[in-house]
Amino acid sequence: MIPKIQLALDCLCTEDAIKVLASGVADEVDIVECGYCMIAREGARVVKYFREMLPNKQLLADLKIVDAGNAIGGALLDGRPDHTTILCACEPGTIDAVIEEREKRNLDTKLQIELYGHWSFDDIPMWKEKGISQLTLQHSGDKPGGWDEEELATLKKLVNCGIPVAATGHIDYDELDKFKGIPVSCFIFGSAIKNAKDPKAEAKRIREKIESIWG
């Protein structure tokens, strides 16, 4: 399986995100992510905005829902994203609330769990039961340096848990070499693509490397 490429539009405003997309980069990635900071600053309306801008592209709303599943989940789902994220620290009832809002809207939006900070493998059976589509292991942007051996060991264990696993945080063209042999479902790239001189060309270069390693 060749991992998918997700572009995280970790911009502070929609105007900056639009400039990135103007390069045509969406053609070279599988999923476009409305980033956490942009949604937090401008509200859930940005999800609807990018849904209308990219009607045929997989869209992810990344607000890492941790509470108020009906209110926050409902607001995000009004934008009809294909995926949305829930933080691993939330109560099971929060996941249930987001599922309830999804059912009210008759959507098939996939729910993902962001593994950030402290979490436990013991929660995986519960996430499976609730139909979580993907676990995303995050290397914090606040943590200096790239992926270390401990994180890679955790990732290797996770990919055998029965739920697809994505990797995000401090991943670029060169960092991909660390993941050889690990069946990751998706790599999430932020600044490596977003801040490139030519985002589309860099995404294409990354795709070609992924295909050469996992193809």
What residue ranges in 10-146 does DSSP mark as E strands? 31-34, 58-65, 83-87, 110-115, 134-138
Please state, for a pLDDT cut of 70, what percent of the chain lies above it: 99
The pLDDT value recorded for residue 138 is 95
Domain count, the chain: 1
Parallel, antiparallel, or unpaired for β 110-115 and 4-9?
Answer: unpaired
pLDDT confidence tier of residue 145, bands split at 50, 70 and 90:
confident
The CA-atom distances, in angstroms, between 139 and each of 116, 119, 152, 201 are 8, 13, 10, 25
The CA-atom distances, in angstroms, between 170 and each of 103, 134, 144, 173, 188 are 35, 19, 9, 10, 9
* Averaged pLDDT, 92-98: 98
Amino acid type, 110: K
Domain carrying residue 178:
4-214
**DSSP state, residue 58:** E
The CA distance from 92 to 99, in Å, is 11
The CA distance from 75 to 69, in Å, is 10
Condensed to tens digits (0 to 9), the pLDDT of residues 12-71 reads 999 999 999 999 999 999 999 999 999 999 999 999 999 999 999 999 999 999 999 999
Q: Is residue 144 scored above 90 in pLDDT?
A: no
pLDDT confidence tier of residue 117, bands split at 50, 70 and 90:
confident
Give the domain CATH number at 102.
3.20.20.70
Of 169, 196, 215, 198, nearest to 6 by C-alpha is: 169
137 within 8 A of 151, measured Cβ to Cβ: yes
Enumerate residues 6+ apart whose C-beta is below 8 A from 55: none
The CA distance from 190 to 7, in Å, is 6
